[in-house]
Amino acid sequence: MDMPTERFALRYSELGEKYGPITWLVVPGRTIIVLNTYDSMYEILERRGSNYMDRPRAAMIQELVGMNFNTPMRQGDPTWRLHRKLLRPALSPDAIKRNYSELLIAGAHRFVKRVIREPETFRASLKRSLGETISDLTYGAHEDDQGNDYVVKQEELLVYSTLAIAGYLVDLFPLLKMVPGWFPGAHFQRDAKKWREHMTELRNLMIEGVQKRMAANEGRSCYVVNMLEDLQKVKDETGADITEDIQAVYDSGFSFYQAAADTTEIGLKNFLLAMTLYPVAQARARQEIDHVVGARRFPEFSDQGDMPYVHAVVLESLRWNPPAPFIIPHASREDNTYKGYFIPKGTTVIPNVWQISRDSTIYEDPSTFNPDRFISNPNILDPRDFVFGFGRRVCPGKYLAYQTMWMFVVSTLWAFELEKPEGEPPLDKDTDRFDFGFLNSPRPFECNFIPRKEAIDKILVAE
């Protein structure tokens, strides 16, 4: 009964305070350990990563909804290894800057333009701009020639996925998946059928869209197109069978939106909220941008090396509120021991990364948004070392997430001054700022965007 049903990260932290770095829980049909320190996460999930590379069985989302093809949800099998083999070079820092810089800049500019026109809808504009950017980067488009809006359909699927992963009785008792949908109480079967149909339709739409554009020689540089062209070259040169690789490209590509959209959006909402609450940090970041960029041109990725404080702002936005506060759980493949504790095969391992962000032995005054901590202490723990996961399951898109956030952050501060509206609550406590769900989003807040005339004039003229 100690297993939390709400405010998960906070409850997991309370368990850590009571029982120490590793807490053992038993629920029907499952054994669970919760890790609450960076050292325990690093030792178990990083150094022993080969034993903790699987995922716990989740009958609802993996089997009934059918998301078991999705890279983050797959078990650590040969197909998952193929996904990682494809994703690693395609999402390396050099590949991102070489292939996707223009897409990321265009996405940031779209956000700025939307806020200029409708500042009161900045949250919707951020979601839409990020969605278009991720879809363009993955498939080369965010809609097809029939008017199907990939972003809207992906957002609907994200809602379904969140509901499916939130926990159904069938996850504890997988045999229930044999119960027919018409049976009383089997609403989960009806939910799963509806969500699976939506997901299948969306996958087919986006794959067919890519195939049509490539056949018409209209395929823009994007992950799926680039990978398919590379595979075709391999086939032409060696005659290799690339059928399995093509399917892996489609499946891993479909994972982009599911893995990146909400988490990157939360990271940027962290930034916007922090700028309204900590105007001194905002002023210092803008001063650096003005010094390096000025108002006569747009910020570019080549400016990154000259903006250490903006880099620190992005890191602190990730540290201040990790978007996935306990990431996707791991599962042990074989029996193991840690500091005398026996961890049986099949144990679910939950790393509570929120607690790392609030560990005062690592981060002084951890609830305060303070980018200076990354300037004054170069050896401090980089949040990218825990926010994006551990070991074999570390997110392959961690560099893409950082670069996307950096471009949106620098473009926003180049174009606007951000201000907390009068009458807004002070939001002094973490519990006032964040909702502590499966994804820890900032609670709804307001923000005034004050245009900086020279920058705004330039971006509007460029339309």
Do 294 and 454 touch, CB atoms closer than 8 A? no
Of the candidates 379, 445, 152, the residue with the CA atom closest to the CA atom of residue 143: 152
Residues linked to residue 348 through DSSP beta bridges, in sequence order: 32, 331
Cα radius of gyration (the chain): 22
Report the alpha-carbon angle 212-240-68, nearest 5: 65
Q: Locate all alpha helices (DSSP H) within 91-149, ordered by sequence.
A: 93-117, 122-139
Do 83 and 250 touch, CB atoms closer than 8 A? no
Of the candidates 427, 110, 109, 386, the residue with the CA atom closest to the CA atom of residue 270: 427
Find all residues with CB under 8 Å of 129, minimum gap 6, and list them.
107, 108, 110, 111, 114, 408
Residue 24 to residue 201: CA distance in whole angstroms? 41
Of the candidates 430, 421, 407, the residue with the CA atom closest to the CA atom of residue 450: 421
Q: Is 310 exposed, middle or buried (0-12, 13-18, 19+ CB in 10 A)?
A: buried
Instruction: Please indicate if the annotation marks 447 as binding a ligand.
Output: no
- Sheet arrangement for strand 22-27: 22-27, 30-35, 348-351, 330-331
- Is residue 92 left, alpha or beta, with left meaning phi > 0 and alpha meaning psi from -120 to 50? beta
Rounded to whole angstroms, what are the CA distances from 145 to 142, 198, 206, 212? 10, 19, 11, 10
Do 365 and 278 touch, CB atoms closer than 8 A? no
Binding residues for heme: 395
For the annotated binding site, the residues are 395
